[in-house]
């Protein structure tokens, strides 16, 4: 299907893969059933868990954000003269990955390159997507025999991500009446300690999820201080903890840290949600609502840094990653661009990378 001169050859289709979210009250509990499948959580509990969705009319912001990102990706590909179709599929809501596979096959595709709206390495942010892609191809059945589905590498280290975050961070801190009062809290989604311990290559030391965040936070803080002539401190904190209280998750929680910072005079809390590429529910509820309310209650000024979303440099970086992956697929020698020191994950996940600790399941885009 791809023209010989197509910059994305051998890929016929680009797939934007995301988490998904409800878009009406009647979709909330079915969505949460899919998210929590296999855990035996009763609907009554899901109704309570979904209250922050119901408070917003049963609509998550994530799907509209993905529609906007699709439009920006299409525009950037067009700007570069690349006509490859761009599709969209979700793990937990329409359009599902299965829908995207059917659509790709209808277009005559034989090879798909996927870019996820998740930039980091751990089970829930990488391998679980790979498992759901495998399940979608399996569900489609014989029609999908021979369809190859690849993905770009975990891209937190890419310059497009770092530069977009830095621009937003400099803008937020620079706009403060006293920029030197800022204490930057780099926020990401908490995960169970066991998931972080096993994040990364199967033969590695683990803890890659936290390591990637820390490397980005350090570089952002250094660049922020250099650009604004400051000596600010930054630290990594977490949000959106779930699961039983007996299960240890990554800490500290952003709300707990804000309460502790309230004991320091003259501090302005600046929350940079570097774990998210857009204003997902974890951002608009856990930070814009809950963390902001905590800050108001304890009397601490609170600022939330904008996410990359459809920032030009971020979108350009995503297309650069697609071109990099296509060059790899063509057998060309590729030196991955990176904005951070240390580990750069490959496009093809290593055996045992970010394992499923509940059950072994087939996964695409890897060597196991």
| pLDDT tens track for 1-53 | 444 348 999 999 999 999 999 999 999 999 999 999 888 888 898 998 899 99
Confidence of residue 244 (pLDDT cuts 50, 70, 90): confident
The percent of residues in the chain predicted with pLDDT above 70, rounded, is: 99
SS (H, E, C) the chain: CCCCCCCCCCCCEEEEEECCCCECHHHHHHHHHHHCCCCCCCHHHHHHHCHHHHCCCCECCHHHHHHHHHHHHHHHHHHCCCCCCEEEEECCCCCEHHHHHHHHHHCCCCEEEEEECCCCCCHHHHHHHHHHHHHHHHHHHHHHCCCEEEECCCCCCCHHHHHHHHHHHHHHHHCCCCHHHEEEEEEEECCEHHHHHCCCCCCCCCCHHHHHHHHHHHHHHHHHHHHHCCCCCEEEEEECCCCCCCCCECCCEHHHHHHHHCCCCCCEEEEECCCCCCCCHHHHCHHHHHHHHHHHHHCCCEEECCCCCCCHHHHHHHHHHHHHHHHHHCCCCCCCCCCCCCCCCCCCECCCCCCCCCCCCCCCCECC
**What pTM was computed for the model?**
0.96
| pLDDT tens track for 158-178 | 999 999 999 999 999 999 999
Query: Structural domains in the chain?
Result: 13-155+310-329 (3.40.50.1400), 159-304 (3.40.50.1400)
| pLDDT tens track for 274-283 | 999 999 999 9
Q: What's the pLDDT score for residue 39?
A: 82
Q: What's the pLDDT score for residue 89?
A: 98
| pLDDT tens track for 111-129 | 999 999 999 999 999 999 9
Q: What's the pLDDT score for residue 1?
A: 42
């Amino acid at each position: 299907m791809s023209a010989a001169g197509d910059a994305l050859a051998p890929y016929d289709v680009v797939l934007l893969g995301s988490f998904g979210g409800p878009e009406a009250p009647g979709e909330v509990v079915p969505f949460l059933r899919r998210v929590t499948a296999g855990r035996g959580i009763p609907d009554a509990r899901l109704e309570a868990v979904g209250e922050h969705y119901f408070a917003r009319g049963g609509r998550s912001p994530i799907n509209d954000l993905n529609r906007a990102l699709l439009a920006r990706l299409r525009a950037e590909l067009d700007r570069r003269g690349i006509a490859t179709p761009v599709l969209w599929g979700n793990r937990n809501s329409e359009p599902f990955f299965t829908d995207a596979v059917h659509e790709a096959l209808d277009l005559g595709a034989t090879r798909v390159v996927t870019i996820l709206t998740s930039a980091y390495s751990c089970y829930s942010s990488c391998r679980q997507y790979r498992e759901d892609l495998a399940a979608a191809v399996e569900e489609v059945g014989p029609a999908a025999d021979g369809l190859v589905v690849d993905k770009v590498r975990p891209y937190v280290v890419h310059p497009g991500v770092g530069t977009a975050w830095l621009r937003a961070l400099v803008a937020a801190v620079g706009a403060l009446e006293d920029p030197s009062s800022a204490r930057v809290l780099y926020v990401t989604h908490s995960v169970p300690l066991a998931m972080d311990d096993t994040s990364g290559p199967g033969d590695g030391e683990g803890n890659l999820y936290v390591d990637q965040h820390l490397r980005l936070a350090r570089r952002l803080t250094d660049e922020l201080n250099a650009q604004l002539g400051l000596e600010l401190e930054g630290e990594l904190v977490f949000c959106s903890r779930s699961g039983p209280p007996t299960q240890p998750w990554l800490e500290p929680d952003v709300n707990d840290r804000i309460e502790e910072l309230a004991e320091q005079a003259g501090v302005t809390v600046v929350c940079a949600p570097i774990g998210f590429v857009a204003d997902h529910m974890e951002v608009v509820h856990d930070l814009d609502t809950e963390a902001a309310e905590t800050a108001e209650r304890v009397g601490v000024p609170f600022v939330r840094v904008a996410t990359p979303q459809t920032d030009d440099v971020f979108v350009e970086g995503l297309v650069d990653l697609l071109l990099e992956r296509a060059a790899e697929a063509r057998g060309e020698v590729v030196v991955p661009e990176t904005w951070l020191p240390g580990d750069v994950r490959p496009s093809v996940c290593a055996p045992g990378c970010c394992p499923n600790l509940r059950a072994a399941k087939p996964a695409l885009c890897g060597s196991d």
